Structure 1
Amino acid sequence: MSAVDEVSVAGGVRGVEPGPPTVMTGRLRLVLVVLLVAQFMLAVDFSILNVALPVIGKGLGFSLANLQWIATSFALCAAGFTLFFGRVADLFGRRRLFLAGLALLGISSLVGGLATSPELLLIARVAQGLATAAVTPAGLSLLTTAFPEGPLRDRALGLNGALMSAGFTTGAILGGVLTDLLSWRWSFFINVPVALAVLIIAPSVIKESKPETRPKLDIPGAITVTAGLLALVFGMTQAGEHGWTSPTALISLALGVLLLILFYVVEKHSSSPLVPVSVLKRRTVAWGNIAGLIAFVTETSLVFLMTLYLQEV
């Protein structure tokens, strides 16, 4: 019992509960830096290759129409597997998945930087997307569990959101600088020392985190949402490449919508859903998702198209 509580009880006054801590310790600062560096690096990867696309195309033999797959192969995996890996992190340990994802990111970045063919580069981008899908939810969970609810957690989440937003723009600028001064390959290589540094520091400062109640994997939900997102993004890609009347695009889009509707139905009746349906019905969550979707779609498409236009046209 604190001195304040003892005085209050002695005087017949109800004890005053201490509020959540507001001062960040040295260890928490180090945890925050490690997690923010990892999340910022992932955000940078979304756009760091955009400026280098024409140079990559000429160097490895990509046609102009196929350059989009350098970005799309990454986005397909990053978007399609995030929810699934979020549940895997809950089951097997968030720190464990966080470190495994960073190791995969470092290896795939090294492979991408050394790539000598379009196929090898796309394989590296797919692996980077899978790594992003694993590290993003695990890192966010570690951030919320490392900091107690209150001002410290609010500050940590605010910094994380600001750096994630800044990372998309920083990636485009950094990619241009690296391509101009060194080579487009350094847009991959730059991830390697950062991932290695985080892998060395993180195990000693970040504690393992698992939910108190072990959740189920929710295989039907994982399959429907992953396949639905993959089909939806693939359908939009095909529509952009071959037109909105393309049978492949229409079938993929229709399949994606049907699978996401099925996902909603599955989650509604699941005892351990990946996404609780009740949360999605909240107005603040719904409007936040809509605003985030509009902002993300606008910025990523604008950066991709403008960098190609300014260099090629």
Structure 2
Amino acid sequence: MYASKKYLTVAWILVLPALLIRIFTTIYPIIETFRISFFDVKLLRGTNEFVGLQNYIDLFGDSKMLTSLSFTAIFVIGSMAGHLVLGIALALILNMKFAGQKVLRTIVLLPWAMPMVVIAMASKWAFNNDYGLVNDFIRWFAPSFQLDWLIHTNTARFAVIAVDLWKDIPFFAILILAGLQFISSDIYEAAKIDGAGAVRSFFRLTLPLLAKSILVLSIFFTMWRITSFDVVYAMTSGGPGESTALIAYRVTTEAFTNLNTGYAASIAIVLFLVMAVLGGISMSATKRVDY
């Protein structure tokens, strides 16, 4: 009994430094952000006044914030729809047996391995009307085509979503591919004998067997999309106007550009609560979906 208590004490002593670092770098910032969200903290004016829920009330009455919320919803839905359709399609292609399969898998992962900031900066040039790669390609088929993608709201939003998909679909596809590797080929052979074609096998066998993996990946990729910042920061800076300013970008702008720390903290807390809800849904869905 004494020996077990001694070992337990030693274990706590060894774990304590890491635990304290974790508390200082994770729990303390969350608590401090929550506290600041109830204050009117403007560094330029030197104000630090308790305002209660006023920051949260202002948040839902702010037109810029509402624009950010709407584009974040569009960005998340559009991006995840693309990830599901194109990611699963790419995973099925990579799962086929053909010459150069391993080489193709390696090449496909290259966009994901590159930093998003680098890709976004390159994309800023690629979508330029005069010398951009995108318009240059389109002009092979339509020589008179003219469009400056990043100065119009709809095309700028489309470009941001397209770049996000190009960057992360390979990673999503590789994770789905890992799930496909665990499906026995005997199942497909039996289905083929029973007269099931490729399409029917996909909807009746592949999708149900991958349902749990797809659900979990979709939730986590959705969480990553909600907190996206770098693609907008490097590619459009939230423009034109505020049309491509995601929520995470809005937090950064309010905190470090406008120096409106209290308001930025309230946005961050709302974002944190959304992420907590999605995390809870993820854990619940993982337990419920099982094949």
TM range (shorter): under 0.3
Q: TM-score, normalised by structure 2?
A: 0.28
User: Greater RCO between the two (CA within 8 Å, min separation 6)?
Assistant: 2
Q: TM-score, normalised by structure 1?
A: 0.26
Tell which structure's C-alpha radius of gyration is larger.
Answer: 2
